[in-house]
């Protein structure tokens, strides 16, 4: 008898990550992972199943309705897995606002509430809703669960969440929410398993990927985050600006007369490492480039990360450990060293041999602050939360 399967969907603005999990009642074990890349023509479906790697060109074209894309994707998966045994789907939803404090089973009321938050995450929320509706159309028998990136940060103190703006605007939802919560939840759990003493203290996790942010944890509970109202805030990213003087926006929209759509494109897609360097959004390329613009982009990236870490350390009232995670954080020693060197004054010293080897512990024995490299796994959290919700609602799998 074949085991039941669970799929996870992690929708980005230009890609969808997919996880295939086997369910063992209360636990989910990943069998394969994949990604649909909407930046490619034709669409490409990249799949990793154990040691095997597949790159599949999809015949279907991208459209507002994702049902055709998913139908073809499911057709390919059916050649490798018993798709009829998929009994549940978990989704990463970027924004839960103040409406969702944890994962929920998706029904009509949940969809309506998620849709109402679209204005707070205009690049990500619509893609996730399209996925949910496409799966409803293709597999109406399958239970769906939403996991929210903002939920992990609901423990942030009120003083952290508030902007210095009129109270009415705050009450209307203009406040700091924080993102990458599924990644931080996974890292908090992994740190507790790997280094329990450090996990019980004051920790800053650096989720450094194309999208990047920092989170301050106290005993595994989120206290502060670099991202605030939107995924633009905080540290610079591959193509996003990070924290920006609001006067710049007033200047662009006012005296310079730039249209809103153009300003949005500049801030989300033409800034960050790409904007500063004028060369690439990929830090790997910039690290090997001899041009001064590339060096300036990397220097600004590590400078802002270190500065934001110092700010979050003030929120925590000290700092016991730092964790680097996500694509850049896990695989780029020069970036980790660039950040850490700016934090020597806090007592952080790297073991440069361990750092160069991407070891789990990269701090020197003499360092007052521990430093770790721990791979993140958002899909595992999505799967775990989906199972948890379905069991709580008596939909035992």
Q: Give pLDDT tens digits for 353-396.
A: 999 999 999 999 999 999 999 999 999 999 999 999 998 876 44
What does the pLDDT look like over 332-359, one tens digit per residue? 999 999 999 999 999 999 999 999 999 9
Integer Cα distance of 170 and 213 in angstroms: 22
Q: Break the chain into its structural domains and give their ranges.
A: 5-148, 195-373
Which residue out of 37, 141, 149, 299 is catalytically annotated? 149
pLDDT tops 60 at residue 187: yes
pLDDT tops 50 at residue 1: no
- pTM here is 0.93
Structure-token pair, residue 233: 């805030």
Q: What is the pLDDT of residue 61?
A: 75
Contact 197, 164 (CB under 8 A): no
Angle, vertex CA 118, rays to CA 182 and CA 253, nearest 5:
110
Other C-beta atoms lying within 10 Å of the C-beta of residue 266: 15
Angle, vertex CA 37, rays to CA 127 and CA 324, nearest 5:
85
pLDDT tops 70 at residue 12: yes
Mean pLDDT score of the chain: 93
Residue found under tokens 């009450």 = 171
Integer Cα distance of 97 and 117 in angstroms: 7
Would you call 149 a catalytic residue per the annotation?
yes
Structure-token pair, residue 165: 């703006």
CATH superfamily of 195-373: ATPase, nucleotide binding domain (3.30.420.40)
Q: How confident is the model over 111-125, as a mean pLDDT?
A: 90
CATH number of 5-148: 3.30.420.40
State the alpha helices, DSSP H only, in 278-343: 283-287, 292-316, 326-331, 333-341
Same fold, 5-148 and 195-373: yes
Q: Rounded to 5 degrees, what are φ and ψ at 2?
A: -75, 145
Q: What is the pLDDT of residue 363?
A: 98
Sorted by sequence, the CB contacts under 8 Å of residue 391 that are 6+ apart come out as 26, 397
């Amino acid at each position: 008898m074949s085991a039941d399967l669970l799929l996870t969907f992690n929708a980005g603005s230009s890609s969808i990550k997919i996880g295939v999990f086997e369910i063992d009642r209360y636990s989910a074990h990943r069998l394969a992972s994949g990604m649909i890349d909407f930046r490619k023509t034709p669409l490409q479906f990249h799949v990793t199943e154990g040691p095997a790697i597949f790159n599949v060109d999809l015949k279907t074209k991208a459209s507002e309705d994702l049902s055709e894309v998913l139908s073809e994707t499911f057709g390919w998966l059916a050649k490798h897995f018993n798709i009829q045994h998929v009994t549940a789907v978990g989704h990463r939803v970027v924004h839960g606002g103040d409406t969702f404090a944890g994962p929920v089973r998706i029904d009509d009321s949940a969809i309506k509430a998620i849709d109402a938050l679209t204005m707070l995450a205009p690049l990500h929320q619509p893609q996730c809703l399209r996925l949910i509706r496409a799966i409803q159309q293709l597999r109406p028998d399958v239970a769906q669960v939403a996991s929210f990136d903002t939920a992990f940060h609901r423990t942030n103190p009120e003083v952290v969440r508030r902007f210095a703006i009129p109270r009415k605007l705050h009450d209307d939802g203009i406040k700091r929410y924080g993102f990458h919560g599924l990644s931080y939840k996974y890292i908090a759990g992994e740190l507790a398993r790997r280094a329990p003493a450090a996990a019980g203290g004051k920790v800053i996790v650096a989720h450094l990927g194309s999208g990047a942010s920092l989170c301050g944890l106290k005993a595994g509970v989120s206290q502060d985050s670099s991202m605030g109202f939107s995924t633009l805030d905080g540290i610079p990213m591959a193509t996003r600006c990070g924290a920006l003087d609001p006067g710049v926006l007033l200047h662009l929209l006012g005296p310079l007369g730039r249209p809103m759509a153009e300003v949005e494109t500049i801030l989300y897609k033409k800034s960050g490492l790409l904007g500063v360097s004028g060369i690439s959004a990929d830090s790997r390329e910039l690290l090997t480039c001899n041009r001064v613009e590339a060096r300036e982009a990397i220097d600004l990236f590590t400078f802002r990360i270190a500065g934001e870490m110092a700010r979050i350390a003030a929120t925590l009232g000290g700092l016991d450990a730092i964790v680097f995670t996500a694509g850049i954080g896990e695989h780029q020693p020069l970036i980790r060293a660039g950040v850490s060197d700016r934090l020597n004054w806090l007592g952080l010293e790297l073991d440069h041999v361990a750092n160069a080897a991407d070891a789990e512990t990269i701090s020197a024995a003499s360092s007052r602050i521990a430093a770790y490299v721990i791979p993140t796994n958002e899909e595992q959290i999505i799967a775990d939360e989906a199972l948890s919700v379905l069991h709580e609602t008596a939909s035992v799998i």
